[in-house]
Amino acid sequence: MGSFKSSGFILILHLLKGVLSNSLIQLNNNGYEGIVMAIDPNVPEDETLIQHIKDMVTQASPYLFEATGKRFYYKHVAILIPENWKTKPDYVRPKLETYKNADILVAAPDPAGNDEPYTEQIGKCGQRGERIHFTPDFIAGKKLPEYGPQGRVFVHEWAHLRWGVFDEYNNNEKFYLSNGKREAVRCSAAITGENFVNKCQGGSCIRKLCRPDPQTGLYEEGCVFIPNKQQKEKASIMFAQSIDSVVEFCTEQNHNKEAPNLQNQKCNFRSTWEVISDSEDFKKTTPMTTQPPTPTFSLLQIGQRIVCLVLDKSGSMSSDNRLNRLNQAGKLFLLQTIEQGSWVGMVTFDSAAQVRSELRQIKSGTDREALTKSLPTVPSGGTSICSGLRVAFSVIKKKYPTDGSEIVLLTDGEDNTIKVCFDEVRQSGAIIHTVALGPSAALELEELSKMTGGLQTYASDQVQNNGLIDAFGALSSENGAPSQHAIQLESKGSTLQNKEWMNGTVVVDSTVGNDTLFLVTWTTQRPQILLWDPSGKKQNGFTVDTNTKMAYLHIPGTAQVGIWKYSLQASSQTLTLTVTSRASSATLPPITVASKMNQDTGKFPSPMIVYVTIRQGAAPILRARVTALIESVSGKTVTLELFDNGAGADATKDDGVYSRYFTAYDTNGRYSVKVWALGGTDTARQKAASQRNGAMYIPGWIENGEIKWNPPRSEINTNNLQDKQLCFSRTCSGGSFVASNVPKGTIPDLFPPCQITDLKAEVQGNNLINLTWTAPGDDYDDGRAHKYIIRISTSILDFSDKFNEPVEVNTTGLIPKEANSQEVFVFKPENITFVNGTDLFIAIQAVDEVNLKSEISNVARVSLFIPPEKPSLEVTPPYPSVSINSTIPGVHILKILWKWVGELQVSLGSG
């Protein structure tokens, strides 16, 4: 990078609009509409579930309205009903609503027994979440004691989803020390309750008041906070919406800034209401003066997939072998990607449009082969995209309404009349996926995808990158069972000279193997193709298409699990290999890889973020090796290794979401994204994400002086990893984005180091403090920072807006490591009073070589607790062994007794 930098760009992270979402939600006159709530296809048919969903939203709307100062309510919700449920007259076909863009998913608990409501959040504070998850039992009201009324929980999750706020409790750290006093993590601090241990085994439980740990000063392991059923405090919904009195979000006035929770860690101690008030929703609304109407609902049932290919055959398609490459990619889509039972039509266009095939249902291989024969082979004429779209609408309308249908639009040409048909596209209710081929495809093409919720992709003329085949391979159905979706195991290419070999391996893991296809393409003449299965048996029988320059082999039945080896030999030409498969079983979820960017447009110098999610069902896949190849329209490619380390661009460690900043802009225009994910000896599947953002489970309630315990929470054991040798290979298209404002010539270096988000601190012997964090880079999370500034204070407020005032730590000798390395720094506080009971707060700022500074890190906290020198008197009150459903009477008497014991311990220890 050059030396031109400006400290003003320290704030460019705030220019990020939020994680790119396919959501259809719109805010219309204070009311949210376009909300899509989908019932998973694996949920058994139950009509009452639909009514429960309606009841939950109807209950939630006035609660949301009052909690937001009469600003927001739920206006309309679409309920997406599975195709395998019985058809009813009031069920209509969806338009743009799909499982992919559903905002709320109702699905069976995964793992079984865990009905915890939660929201996927892969972005930072203030960035919208991905999706809310509920289970049928939760929706039906079977978890009321643990989580409270469903409508209140929905509002809690909605705040995660819509406004990017975080939880104000902490399951991993339930208590903290404040000036030597033990406090439960809660917001507001005015919520009252008691602290108890509840240990259950074999149908009986030991329940007792919590004892202090003499080494840490905190409570013993297993201690939980039990709230009083009767409260006066109104905040906060992001702590425990299940408390009857709680009807508000925490504000700046009552927010507990000391509590070690995600809201404080990720939002720089801002209250939830401050974050909500900073949202675009809030800024464009004013409080209503009348009560909102009751929510309305539409019932939408998924139907058969209807797809029409709209393919450019203009004269420019003769360049760079584009038309033949279109045939190769089109054949993969028709022979493999498109699901059985789908209806497919085909339209081509140049200066005008032609129907190549009316809608045809895919029932057999014969139907697939017949459709491949309709692909265009002769390029000629100009480019009229609207003509192609209009004829496609007419093809679909001959058999079905265009609502919910899909159009795959491919073009390589410019068309200055494309906007003429935008209104027709909007009114059609069709989803349009766009494939921009080559450097000159119409600049307005992506607008069609944006307005209809379709996938946007870009494929360059660099054949070895296999971009066109990847783009068509990404067009699996957004609805239906995952077992029917095509999964790409490999996509690779190479230009070979003088009988060179392209050798490699493909892993077929136990979750895939059905309908497996090996596809080889070439640019001049047929190469030598060798393929061996895991047992070493050579595979023969490739079908060769010399006209299209491709060969493919379908593996009968379920492909053998293990490592498949291939060798391809050629001279003076480019070869590609693509391997696709489907799930091995309808009951075993396949390992899936999905990729997205945080935005569909990148304005220099704002960075882009690549996100890759790896799952098996709902279980995250950890410690995979994930890389992204980002190719600009100029042909330059950048390879990024992605991380799931909770640092840099990655919001949460070990949640199966791998992330990385992209700053290597080189030109304006389109950039394509391709992802590889490999599992090896260290890769593992976790039962569930270690940290979910969702409604707090209440272990019990104190009512009239007695504790009424709830059933034990289904614990998520973060150390319980399954299949610790989870070998697999996946590749997928991550779509495309468009860059603008990139300077010509030398690109100025305007990128600061990224914010440190995982700073941790511990007190060691002799009052030493041990700090650990993940190193940022020179440019966000790339390269190496120049230095660190570490500051400490006894007041947490010093880090809100005046980082230069707290005491600076001497960091002489602390040389930053390469980005994403683990940093460790030990120091002894100086120029500050650090005695027993002191709370110390620590933050870091990274600085690059020309003095561009990162945002202030999360603030780490340590409390100095010096254990008593003399042994404490052991006083053991009788603790009753009780059954799971019993209560503990006389809480206040036990509290007084234990308070006396604690005071006696302290007096003996200090005497």
Residues identified as active-site: 157
Q: What is the DSSP letter of 753?
A: B
Torsion of CA 740, 746, 752, 757, to 10 degrees: 60
Contacts of 813 (CB under 8 A, 6+ apart): none
Which tokens in the block code for residue 160?
Answer: 């995660």
Sign for the CA dihedral angle at 159, 165, 170, 171 comes to: positive
Sign for the CA dihedral angle at 379, 385, 389, 390 comes to: negative
Report the candidate in 410, 455, 742, 804 with the shortest Cα–Cα distance to residue 603.
742
Specify the residue for token string 């360059």. 460
User: Rounded CA gap, 106 and 48, in Å?
Assistant: 13
| Helices then strands, each counted (H, E), the chain | 16, 51
The answer to whether 135 and 106 have CB atoms below 8 angstroms apart is yes
Which tokens in the block code for residue 130?
Answer: 């991905």
Where is 822: in which H helix or E strand?
Answer: strand 822-827
The answer to whether 789 and 845 have CB atoms below 8 angstroms apart is yes
Which residue type sits at 645? N
Q: Where are the alpha helices (DSSP H) in 650-807?
A: 798-801
List the 822-827 sheet strands across, edge first: 760-763, 769-774, 822-827
Which residue type sits at 328? Q
The answer to whether 738 and 669 have CB atoms below 8 angstroms apart is yes
**Cis previous bond, 605, omega within 30:** yes
Which tokens in the block code for residue 295?
Answer: 């929510």
HSE-CB of 510 using CA atoms within 13 angstroms: 6
In the chain the first and final C-alpha atoms are separated, in Å, by 63
User: Rounded CA gap, 387 and 600, in Å?
Assistant: 26
Specify the residue for token string 């991380």. 643
3-state secondary structure of 828: coil
Which tokens in the block code for residue 166?
Answer: 């975080």
Report the candidate in 633, 634, 659, 627 with the shortest Cα–Cα distance to residue 646.
659
CA distance to 148, 203, 204, per residue, from 706 (Å): 19, 21, 18
Max distance between CA atoms of the chain, in angstroms, equals: 97
User: Rounded CA gap, 89 and 273, in Å?
Assistant: 43
Report the candidate in 325, 293, 676 with the shortest Cα–Cα distance to residue 466.
325
Contacts of 265 (CB under 8 A, 6+ apart): 166, 757, 858, 859
